[in-house]
Structure 1
């Protein structure tokens, strides 16, 4: 028995099964994580029904609660007694519900834990509405009327639905006016402000250089007057849009009878979840998903979308990849093809391997000190003195964040590329040289194409690590809320000096810095899922390119 067991170990079968088991456990953990993110993240956007219940508080007073059941859990009687609440005699376990009641401006909190034994008369009112607002979160209640210019022009009872179509039409009209306003503010007025700032810097540049060209100054002043006249014209257009935008208001009522006037300009969407068919729910679900991906955040990042963070993450990873790939490949080529293999080369390789283990926050401190303050400050003093003391490049931004992550992932690319170069047979190089090619031609036309799959492997690993890094980015460019994207219609169109948002930092901010953790929790899952998908798409793209190159140069390996 012992000999047979010893012989079985010598065959290596136990280690094969051990590796297979480890891979299986890892896959199951990854699948489980993705399942949690999918259920918790994507389930948030489904239009859940509104339930109206009668809640009897410990003093015996009955209240009407209208909300969405978010969570149901079991608690012990001791936990309830420790919280100072009464417990029915002879009960050891109780059920409680977390209900999103909304109406934070009225109740102070929009989530509430209630014990199920205190609830009664549960039903789902058909015409109850969920109103997403630009401020104060969701409103849950009933539509009572429409005001126009301060006058009530239409009214209905909570169990009626006569005004629904009119409410939708007025909301669509307001949203159209808001799109026009955003277009004027973000495109036309922003362009004029950019031009006015350019003129200001041009005049200051002339003053710093001691230039007194009267013709040039007169031309700048004339251009400024024209821009100011255009600015005033656009302001009049904004005022003309704002007046009808502030005209309409919606009169609503909560489940406990409180009435509230909501201006239409503060409303994002209105729907009746208990009055939707399955197809309407699916349509609303897809619209909610699209809004999450395509819109900006609201309410301290606990509402709205994550488009600025998604855009910033993808742009930063792409810029980082463009920077790290050539630097890593060139360093690996020098170390393997040109440098003498002596103690100095071995020391450099050891240093490169050790750099891969340096904590990422150290790279962030280095990036802040070297890239931002030293390099960026030097660029400001040389090329942008007219803007000082306001920094242009001497402040954290997209460029410095990309360079910091390129430095962080550089060892990965160097090691992967050098491994690929070492696998190329020496006979291939000698054959190329024997046919009359120079060393540079051999490297460019033979060696590098054969090593390109290994280079792509290094880039894949670099992208996977860089996309999820947060700590160094907090020092070199990432912010909670960026006022504008790094790309716009103002020259030079790509503004690498601007701060940006990042999905990883967004997860940290929403999950751990949010004042409303219950509202933020599903957004954390959804944002984490999107970050995983972004990394997956970037990696799959690089893997497809690597496989294409591997098949293309397979004949050379043979």
Structure 2
């Protein structure tokens, strides 16, 4: 046993066990997040309960079973409930999503098992997904076209066809509003800025005023035509309605242009539910958020996260590499260089919110405000670059991750044998040529390692972004069809901030909870995808320059 301990084998086993436990913990966490997030899109059974509270009349509740829990009977009695005849220590209660938010104050309710008389799952219950007020649960009864009943042999097929018709019209209306009407609004704003700029320079002549007015009238005329077309599409989409019987037996009229889809969950087979699940996941990834981010998708947040991280990587890589090359190849070995290295290492430990405050004060107010004063005085008092935006967010995170890239690049440079440099110089190459053609390519795997670490940290940061550009809802992406096409001054959405907003700022906690897990899993997936891409590039570079190391 003594020899075994002296051989070092126990420490090897302990290290391997610690690594295994860490991997199991990480994988377990990811599986938990994935399970809790992805099961949200699985179509659940819609039940109909008959419930009676403490001797009152029996009423009907329709909804999905979201959660169950055991509650101590003593706690229920202390809260004032009369539980005569119940001798159990705990009582089960159910969390039910009833939807129909415009008719019920909250679309979630807790019901005790002792109050439930019966529970069934009728196949005729439909789930209407809507743009506002969440899901609507009920029994479809009739269709209306321009206020008149629609006679049809297949009600459900006709209902689905009319919903698809309205969705197609709504897509055309949204495309018209974002592209053509948006382009006219953009041109009107650019015209106003150009006119204001000439006015500030004292070059606004009566002829120029007449020219601007003629252009403005033409754009307003184009806008009126497009607006008329948009209103016609909206009127066409609002033509149809559906009458649905709610859980209280009342006939409720739903406008068809507020419905995104209808599903009879209790009739679906396993394959049908799998198709509905894939459709739900696809919509979550590709659509915009709704209802204070508690419903809909997260596409703007995905786009904003990836765009900001890529912009940050483009900024931080050259600065980090140049700084590392100077410190390792050119700077003299002395106290000053040593202090600079210590400062770089210490910068990696500065809290991220400090970088956010620095970015707000230096980049946004000082640099951005100066850019507005020099190049965009006509936009005053509304700032262009003097307000938080995606550019300042990328720069702030570039400074935050700069120490990681510098340290990693320096380590890569230090591993390159000095004989390689000396051989290159002996063959007549200059020091600059040696760096560009020999040293930097050989150090490229280490540079990619630093970039991977930088991307992993930047993609998950939230605190500094709250000060320098991220917002709860950004209607316009930083990329569109209006010149200059990439708008670095715009605010953006971020998956990390979206998780914080949905989890802690949502007015509907129960509805938001599954989305927190789903968005968290999506953020992890985005980070993993970015890292795998960078790792694959690093491995190719490593194989390419492996022969030079020998």
TM-score tier by shorter-chain length is over 0.9
1:479 to partner: Cα distance:
0.2
Query: Which residue among 232, 247, 250 is the counterpart of 1:240?
Result: 232
Q: CA offset at residue 213 of structure 1?
A: 4.2
Q: Which residue of 2 aligns with 1:95?
A: 92
Instruction: Pick which of 15-24 and 429-438 moved more.
Output: 15-24
Task: Give the C-alpha shift of residue 172 in structure 1.
Answer: 1.1
Residues 31-430 of structure 1: pairs in structure 2 closer than 5 A: 31-87=27-83, 88-154=85-151, 162-430=154-422
Q: How far 1:162 moved relative to its partner?
A: 4.5
For residue 486 of structure 1, give the secondary structure of its aligned residue in structure 2. Answer: coil
- Identify the residue that residue 448 of structure 1 maps to in structure 2: 440
* 2:462 is aligned with 1:465: no
Counterpart Cα distance in 2 of 1:334 and 1:552: 25
Q: Deviation at 1:66?
A: 1.1
Separation of aligned partners in 2, 1:239 and 1:69: 40
Query: 2:20 matched to which residue of 1?
Result: 24
Deviation digits for residues 206-247 of structure 1 (CA, Å, limit 9, x no counterpart):
111111444444333222221111111111111221222222
Alpha-carbon distance between aligned partners in 2 of 1:82 and 1:473, rounded to the nearest angstrom = 46
Distance 1:274 1:179 in 2: 29
User: Equivalents in 1 of 2:87, 2:224: separation in Å?
Assistant: 74
1:377 & 1:78 partners in 2: Cα distance? 63
Structure 1 gaps of 5+ residues are: 156-160
1:258 CA displacement: 2.2
* CA pair 411-284 structure 1, distance change in 2 beyond 3 A: same
Q: Deviations 1:224-274 (Å, cap 9, x if unpaired)?
A: 221111111111111221222222111111122122111111111111101
Are the equivalent residues in 2 in contact too, given 1:38–1:529 (CA < 8 A)?
Answer: yes
Q: Is the 8 A contact 2:143 2:240 kept in 1?
A: yes
| C-alpha contact 1:486 1:498 (8 A) present in aligned 2 | yes
Question: So what's the TM-score if we normalise by structure 1?
Answer: 0.96
Which whole-Å CA distance do the structure 2 matches of 1:37 and 1:434 have between them? Answer: 58
For structure 2, the residue ranges without an aligned partner over 5 or more in a row are none
Is 1:147–1:154's contact at 8 Å kept on the other side of the alignment? no
Whole-angstrom distance in 1 between the partners of 2:82 and 2:297: 41
Quote how far apart the aligned CAs of 1:8 are: 3.6
Taking the aligned partners of 1:544 and 1:68, their CA distance within structure 2 comes to 44
Q: Deviations over 1:154-200 (max 9, x none)?
A: 59xxxxx9421111111111111111111111000000000011111
Offset at 1:278? Answer: 2.6
Q: TM-score, normalised by structure 2?
A: 0.98
Moved more, 403-412 or 167-176: 167-176
Q: Which moved more, 1:10-19 or 1:354-363?
A: 10-19
Conserved? CA contact 2:195–2:204, under 8 Å: no
1:439-484 CA deviation, whole Å, 9 max, x = no partner?
A: 1111111111111100000000000000000000000000000121
Give the deviation of 1:77 after TM superposition. Answer: 1.1
Q: Secondary structure at the match of 1:107?
A: coil
What is the CA–CA distance in structure 1 between the aligned matches of 2:531 and 2:490, rounded to whole Å? 26
Deviation of 1:14 after TM superposition, in Å, equals 2.6
Secondary structure, counterpart of 1:53 in structure 2 = strand
